[in-house]
């Protein structure tokens, strides 16, 4: 999924208040860690599931849970 598709999908899903609250909470957690936001965007654009899992495995364990949850929301 390219960046534009991701943005359009996110805008559509943000119409749901429950999704918007969950996404905002995770976005705040992720944005508090320098460089992580860019890494999440890079990982979200990986189309191969195996490569995406490898990229997630390279993240520090303390942020892995938040990033994994964010990826599930964007799927």
Predicted TM-score (pTM) of the model is 0.63
Around Cβ 43, how many Cβ atoms within 10 Å? 20
Q: What is the pLDDT of residues 14-73, one digit of tens each?
A: 999 999 999 899 888 888 888 888 888 888 888 888 998 899 889 888 788 888 888 788
Rounded to 10 degrees, the C-alpha dihedral 46/59/26/40 comes to: -30
């Amino acid at each position: 999924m390219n960046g534009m598709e991701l943005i359009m999908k996110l805008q559509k899903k943000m119409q749901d208040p429950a999704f918007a609250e969950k996404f905002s909470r995770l976005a705040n957690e992720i944005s508090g860690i320098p460089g992580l936001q860019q890494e999440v965007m890079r990982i979200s654009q990986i189309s191969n599931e195996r490569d995406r899992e490898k990229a997630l495995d390279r993240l520090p364990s303390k942020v892995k849970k938040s990033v994994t949850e964010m990826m599930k929301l964007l799927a």
